[in-house]
Amino acid sequence: MKKVILLTVISISAYFVNGVNSQNLDFRNSIPDVMNNINVVQNTPLGIKSFTLSLDSFPVFPGFPKTFQYTSFEGSIYCNMDSDPELEIVFNVGYTVQALNKDGSNVPGWPKTVSSYPLEGAPAFGDINGDGEGEIVVTNHGVTSGGYIYAFKKDGTAVSGFPINHGYSSRTPVLADVNGDSKLDIIVNLRTYPTGKVYVYKYDGTVLPGWPKNIGHVPASSAAVGDIDGDNSPEIVMESYTGLYVWKANGDSLPGFPFVMPNGDVNSYSSPVLADVDGDNFKEIIFGTHVSGAGGYVYVI
């Protein structure tokens, strides 16, 4: 186990500001200050130069900004929702799933309105039923209990078997092919205070064999999915408030887990990340924790 210093990285798509192509700009390790300014390094024919760029100077697309009632708890995603080659903007706000073209107009068949509870997290996009087209998956929940998983086709119609009366699921659903059938499965948590569970649903709304799995405290994040032990099969990594859990695709716990933080720190909100940190061709698990009123830690295990 190693403790590392967290680096924040900002990724910005290409654009032009004051005639400068951002593809020649280096934004690495740039954190906006309170005035929304970042330090930028530019590679020019005359050498390297550094200057300050205001993020408020970014051009606004025609048709934006858009105003919506209620709150969006997490960010948007970009995916192709129609037959043109351009990506559309999809996000949750209140009880609606919005899908916007780049001119701010609604994608045909959208928005979609859900019932009972406001939406949580961001949408997930991927082919869950093997038809060659991506679907949109979202979740909602009540104040302390209740909630559904919704899956929509790109034209806004519901996927067969959905919505699922799942219960209180926090954060964003994750899509990954867990069982190797070339269809993306839906990985979500279930909050059953003071404990929780992790579910893997198939494209038809049924639960994958070997699941759900219990966790010892309430869930704290979305899952991360990837092969961390080199067996060419994915593992599912999930945080509870007090520990980190890893399971094989069949639901068996990976040896050595759950991992309980030794410093009295706890997990909240940010999801784990999988990456080969030390170059041994095995992915490590990177996650951040906090201590009430006293900072926190970043772990690499």
Task: Parse the chain into domains and list their residue ranges.
Answer: 1-59, 60-300
Residue 146: the pLDDT is 93
pLDDT along the chain (301 residues), means of 10: 32 42 55 81 79 81 90 90 93 97 96 95 97 97 93 97 95 97 98 97 97 96 97 97 97 97 88 96 96 88 95
Residue 278: the pLDDT is 95
Residue 47: the pLDDT is 80
- Give CA–CA dist 301/76, Å, rounded: 30
Check: CB of residue 167 under 8 Å from CB of residue 147. yes
Residue 273 CA neighbour count, 13 Å, CB half? 12
- Give CA–CA dist 94/73, Å, rounded: 9
Query: What CATH architecture does domain 60-300 belong to?
Result: 7 Propeller (2.130)
User: CA distances (Å), 105 to each of 70, 80, 109, in order?
Assistant: 19, 15, 12
Give one DSSP letter per residue of 36-91, joined into a string: SEEEEEEEETTEEEEEEEEGGGSPPPTT-----SS---S--EEE--SSSSS-EEEE
Q: Angle at the Cα of 77 (from 174 to 72), degrees rounded to 5?
A: 90
Assign 296 to helix, strand or coil. Answer: coil
Residue 11: the pLDDT is 38
Question: Residue 23: what are its φ and ψ, rounded to 5°?
Answer: -65, -15
Residue 25: the pLDDT is 61
